[in-house]
């Protein structure tokens, strides 16, 4: 008799804690540079545009557009075996950064490049929440 294997769960660290704290509150937090106004993702110590250490956390809109996606038919980790086929997508957020996430709430066959999406939050366990995206309402 086999035991189900859980999905791996992110472990927040000092840099990423504000991102995960926001996700627990169902807010998509991104870093924003107070010197040049650039949003950035993935997480960094310094602004990738002006190189100053002036990044602060701000709540993003949580809205974006589907840039591309792929469908996984083989589980790359046993924790995902029960979820194949599943999508992995890249979403261009309205703030100008690209994020990789799953798109939920739509059949994989109905995914369309350019469709409008909004963030939703799901917990894979251990009290950690991560963003996914779903078709935007309205």
Name the residues that contact Zn ion, by CB under 5 A: 33, 35-36, 38, 47, 49-50
Query: Rounded to the nearest whole angstrom, what is the least distance from the CB of residue 123 to Zn ion in the complex?
Result: 32
Query: Rounded to the nearest whole angstrom, what is the least distance from the CB of residue 28 to Zn ion in the complex?
Result: 20
In this structure, what are the phi and psi dihedrals at residue 62, rounded to the nearest 5 degrees? 75, 10
Torsion of CA 134, 13, 128, 89, to 10 degrees: 20
Using the minimum distance from each CB to Zn ion, give the nearer residue, 34 or 123. Answer: 34
Using the minimum distance from each CB to Zn ion, give the nearer residue, 29 or 33. Answer: 33
Using the minimum distance from each CB to Zn ion, give the nearer residue, 38 or 87. Answer: 38
CA of residue 75 relative to chain centroid, distance:
19
> What number of helices (H) and strands (E) belong to the chain?
1, 8
Query: Rounded to the nearest whole angstrom, what is the least distance from the CB of residue 46 to Zn ion in the complex?
Result: 8
């Amino acid at each position: 008799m086999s035991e189900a294997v859980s999905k791996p769960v992110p472990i927040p660290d000092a840099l990423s804690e504000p991102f995960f704290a926001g996700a627990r509150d169902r807010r998509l937090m991104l870093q924003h540079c107070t010197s040049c106004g650039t949003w950035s993702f993935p997480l960094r110590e310094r602004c990738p545009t002006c190189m100053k250490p002036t990044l602060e956390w701000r709540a993003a809109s949580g809205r974006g557009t589907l840039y591309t996606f792929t469908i996984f038919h083989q589980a790359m980790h046993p924790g995902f075996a029960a979820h194949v086929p599943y999508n992995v997508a890249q979403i261009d957020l309205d703030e100008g950064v690209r994020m990789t996430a799953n798109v939920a709430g739509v059949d994989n066959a109905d995914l369309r490049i350019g469709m409008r999406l909004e963030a939703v939050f799901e917990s894979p366990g251990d009290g950690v929440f991560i963003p996914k995206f779903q078709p935007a309402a309205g």
